[in-house]
Amino acid sequence: MKASRLAAAGTLAASAVVVLSSPAFAHVSVQPEGTAAKGGYAVVDFKVPNERDDASTTKLEVSFPTDHPLASVMPQPMDGWRVEVTRAKLAEPVELEGEKITEAVTKVTWTADGKGIQPGYFQKFPLSVGALPKDTDELVFKAIQTYGNKEVVRWIEVQQDGQAEPENPAPVLTLSDASADDHSHSSGSGSEASSDKTGNTAADTSASASVSADSSDTTARVLGVVGIAVGTLGVAYGVLAGRRRTDA
């Protein structure tokens, strides 16, 4: 009986680790490639997982904040996807690096030309954006994910301080404080040409940034493997212990 209890405990431990290491936030999110410094330009990736077993994601709509408008938003061409950038006039002009901006990007829409994001996969949708605001620590984007079976998931709920994460949270881009180097890149760069130059700089560091952004997923997988190993050892120990008692 003792051996059986040990084996059961080992299996339970493995299962617990696997459950705890499973992705807890399988929702649409946004991360910068490198840093997203206040007042500068950055390349950001909207990461979209497919959460259905019987349908592919065929459309993604990302709405941009109107309280902190972005004058420059440039998508990267993607095989199998059509992209549309929607601009609109601002209710009130805003001043950006000495220039008055009267319109800004309000939405970017990606529509699949082919299979889209199939079950079991995710896709990153990159954008070069700027200039990032200097008077806030984060930007909240609202995203709508559409599946091939016409199901729509609205990732639009804003996280409230002191409350649990909502069921369908909106993607949030955290902005870092600008360094002296960031200022040198962004000074006098009100044009889209400057945005493209800064975007290319960010893209050159995308490999290391992607490792950082996905580190939590890697940690989860490692913990899962460790948990399975612990459970297997527990089962093996229980079986051996039971055999010893029988032989005795």
pLDDT at 98: 74
Of the listed ranges 84-93, 106-115, 173-182, 204-213, the least confidently predicted one is: 204-213
CB 222 within 8 A of CB 6: no
pLDDT at 82: 97
Number of other residues whose CB lies within 10 A of the CB of residue 24: 10
pLDDT at 242: 53
The mean predicted confidence, pLDDT, of the chain is 76
pLDDT at 147: 98
User: Distance between the two ends of the chain, CA-based, in angstroms?
Assistant: 15
Phi, psi of 112 (to 5 degrees): -70, 135
For the CA atoms of the chain, what is the radius of gyration? 24
Q: What is the pLDDT of residues 146-204, one digit of tens each?
A: 999 999 999 999 988 888 889 999 999 999 998 755 544 444 444 443 444 444 444 44
pLDDT at 78: 96
Higher pLDDT, 110 or 196: 110
Q: What is the pLDDT of residues 89-103, one digit of tens each?
A: 988 887 777 778 888
pLDDT at 51: 94
Give the model's confidence band at 20: pLDDT under 50 very low, under 70 low, under 90 confident, else very high.
Answer: very low
pLDDT at 231: 55
Give the model's confidence band at 208: pLDDT under 50 very low, under 70 low, under 90 confident, else very high.
Answer: very low
> From CA 11, how far away is CA 5, in angstroms rounded?
10
**Mean pLDDT, residues 232-243 taken together:** 51
Q: What is the pLDDT of residues 42-66, one digit of tens each?
A: 999 999 999 999 999 999 999 999 8
